[in-house]
Homo-oligomer: A and B are copies of this chain.
Amino acid sequence: MPNILVTNDDGITAGGIAALVEVAREFGTVTVVAPDSPQSGQGHAITLKQPLRIKQSQIFTGIDAYECDGTPADCVKMAKHILFKNKKIDLCLSGINHGSNASINIIYSGTMSAAMEASIEGIPSIGFSLDDFSHEADFTASKKVVKALLEKIFSVELQPTLLNVNIPNIHHTEIKGMKVCKQGDGRWKENFQEGTDPHGNKYYWLRGDFHNDDPPKANSDINAIKDGYVSIVPSHHDLTHYASLDTLSYLNS
């Protein structure tokens, strides 16, 4: 049985991780290491100035589970170097996130950072997200998607790839299929909520609207989801913009 590490960024009590554990246990021996509180928007933050703690949890019957007071990336580091010190993690699954991590959201996402942290260690990793931010999101269709994808993944030899999987928020019979595609070109247009706190200090609260900058026919995750497909973006942690190595050669000295 393969060892499957499950984590997320919405915290160990979120509905999305329960759905992921339910499917993952059909495929291997599951260990959960997840944050003890919601960590959305944490990006690839790690905890340097404070120590971390890890506590066994009984939240999932028959599953070895731990809650950690750090970030999603911390959870993976602790799993790898403390719980799995002498044991291999065969696959890391992160999510199911409450909310899309398509396009630029991969940058801000704790869910995807946890998956990336595992993939930096050479562990095949998949981050799953459902395009529904609500706490009460329905993961029925998502569970079928995760199961279908894991069946495919396990039908071949596991590859050390990092996949960003986003699931449209529609009934499972309406999902048209899965599409391997590129990260969509988009950004948030911030529109801070301004106010005054009880102590008379002005504050700004981050909010914004997502803008899709892809052409309508682009093979992007945003377009795939819009068309009713599950998007699968192979991703990596090498941020080099290779095309610029030549054009910037005038900076060499």
Contacts and interface: CB of A to CB of B under 8 A. Distances in A.
Q: Is the interface of A mostly helix, strand, loop or mixed?
A: mixed
Interface stretch (A74-82, A88-96, A135-143): A74-82
Interface string A179-218: 1111101010011110101000111111000000000000
B120 A116 contact: no
A41 interface: yes
A178 B237 contact: no
Contacts of A50: 205
A121 B240 contact: no
Nearest to A201: B53
Contact of A248 (B104, B234, B245, B250): B234
A183 B240 contact: yes
Nearest to A203: B51
Interface stretch (A12-20, A26-34, A105-113, A166-174): A105-113
Interface string A38-60: 10111111111111111000000
Interface string A104-133: 101110000100100011000000000000
- Give how many copies assemble into the complex: 2
A233 interface: yes
Given A120-B187, A178-B253, A192 B43 contact: no
A202 B56 CA distance: 12
Contacts of A148: 253
Nearest to A37: B49
A73 interface: yes
Contact of A73 (B43, B53, B80, B195): B43
Given A177-B253, A251-B152, A51 B187 contact: no
A179 to B, nearest CB: 6
B252 A180 contact: yes
